[in-house]
Amino acid sequence: MPAHQIPGDSISTAVVIPPSGLFRIIPTRSTISFTVPHLFGIRSVAGTMAVEEGDIVVSDTGQVKVAASALTLSFDTGNPKRDKDIAAAKFLDADRNPRITFRSKVATAGSTAWSVKGTLDAAGYGAPLELTVTGTVSPSTGELAINAVGKVDRYAHGITKMKGMIGRYLEIQIHATARKA
């Protein structure tokens, strides 16, 4: 597991290049959380989605590809009426789009994090999404612990209703654990 780190530094923000192979995301140990401005930016709404499944493939040359999905109906803000409205046709349209998926196109290791660029498919529209990803590999289990952050433009997915009530951009955080297959 090559990593760029300062000798003697027990806490490193180094980019970790995982060993080559296929890693499967463990849904029960993974979450997607988000916040979005609400009421013309006066407040914000926070919520979660459940990771359904996902794969991370690391090539022998260190190239990384990611594919993951979440069930649209797992969208949860703690307000059942709001969650039902978001799942309806005017927003996520869960009946026609039961999954939200992400597929990476390019993953580039920087000095402190990975930049993972891909396509997020939600509400029947695909749009670019860039994630900033950090992670660690457990020496004892070989599991990957991944943290990612990004910004989703809901307008790019055709979700433009209630512009003043709901902000345009959702800040997302992903915490995932993956095990070598």
Q: Give the confidence band of 11 by pLDDT, cuts at 50, 70, 90.
A: very low
Would you say 64 and 116 are in contact if contact means Cβ atoms under 8 Å apart?
Answer: yes
Name the residue ranges covered by the structural domains of the chain. Answer: 21-180
Residues forming a β-bridge with 22: 57
- pTM (two decimals): 0.86
Residue written as tokens 């300062």?
Answer: 6
CATH of domain 21-180: 2.40.128.110
- Predicted local distance difference test score (pLDDT) of residue 37: 83
d(CA 96, CA 86): 13
CB atoms closer than 10 angstroms to residue 40: 11
Give residue-wise pLDDT tens across range 61-93.
888 999 999 999 999 999 999 999 999 998 999
Q: Is the pLDDT score of 8 beyond 70?
A: no
CB atoms closer than 10 angstroms to residue 127: 16
9 vs 34, which has greater pLDDT? Answer: 34
Q: Give the confidence band of 38 by pLDDT, cuts at 50, 70, 90.
A: confident
Q: Is the pLDDT score of 1 beyond 80?
A: no
Residues forming a β-bridge with 174: 32, 148
Q: Is the pLDDT score of 135 beyond 70?
A: yes
Q: Is the pLDDT score of 4 beyond 50?
A: no
160: amino acid identity, one letter: T
